[in-house]
Amino acid sequence: MENIVFVFVAGLITALATGLGAIPFFFVEDFSDRWNVALWGIASGIMVSASLFGLINEGLAYATAGLPTLLIGGLLVGVALVEAADRVLDSVDIGGVDDPTREGEEAPLGAAAFAQADLKKLVLILGILTVHSFPEGVAVGVSFAELGLEGGLPILGVSVPLLAVFMTVAISIHNVPEGTAIAIPMRAMGLSKWRMVGAAVFSSLPQPIGAAIAFVFVTWAREFLPFGFGFAAGAMVYLVVTEFIPEALDTGADLPGGGRRELLAGLLAGVAAMVPLLYV
């Protein structure tokens, strides 16, 4: 139970990091697109590196008789779930509010709900966001599979796998610009700064739940660890390719070179941050 609480807290940290994306608006009116693009790049580089060099390597190590069938199955299921979640989100019409910062577009789900202060809509959107954020929470939970075993980093008296530390940091970094994306239209709507922070954190609340569920699954059914590692890796890489990088390029569309230089710099920095993992 203590380990489950520990993993839940790690997932909660990633959710709270989303609120950091709204904090700069307490001090400044405008937020740099260049900074946002770089953060998307750093998060993408860390996630892809952690998936390829960490999650997949761990999955191969646990594969029986050298046959990575469960790992490959997990990869495919992870990709399929993210794609299914995207289709669900595209098909749901919650009657959002116009985004004053982008003509012809609606504000992000969390921003729309908090702007309208509609309790029923908040509950509905939380359910939708659960589908969207679940893979990120799973990645955190699975990375803690060896929590308490020797060879990890000592944190609060617990041996924490290095992969879990990097994955928690990666998801947290990714959540910061995501929180900013939610806060920007709310600022234009004139909502209070603390409501902006609340909306940002609200959008990532499913992550600690997903982390705890995934950790329990891979702990109680260790023979399915390759599947769990594959699922998390497939979901993370697919999220990076289909959401993070396109979001970064969209954010940096008005920058010189379309923000590609900032994105590339962030990607390289993220990969470089993961180099120590290769030697664990």
The pLDDT tens digits for 73-113 are 989 988 888 888 777 766 665 555 444 555 545 555 555 55
Contact 56, 274 (CB under 8 A): no
Give the count of domains, the chain: 1
Percent of all residues in the chain with a pLDDT value above 90, rounded to a whole number: 5
Task: Please give the pLDDT value at position 155.
Answer: 83
The pLDDT tens digits for 229-261 are 888 888 888 888 888 888 888 888 888 888 899
Q: Which domain holds residue 224?
A: 2-23+32-279
Is 0.75 surpassed by the pTM of this model?
no
Contact 44, 156 (CB under 8 A): no
The pLDDT tens digits for 153-192 are 888 888 888 878 878 887 887 788 777 777 776 776 677 7
Burial 50-78 (b: 16+ CB within 10 A, else e): bbebbbbbbbeebbeeeebebbbbbbeeb
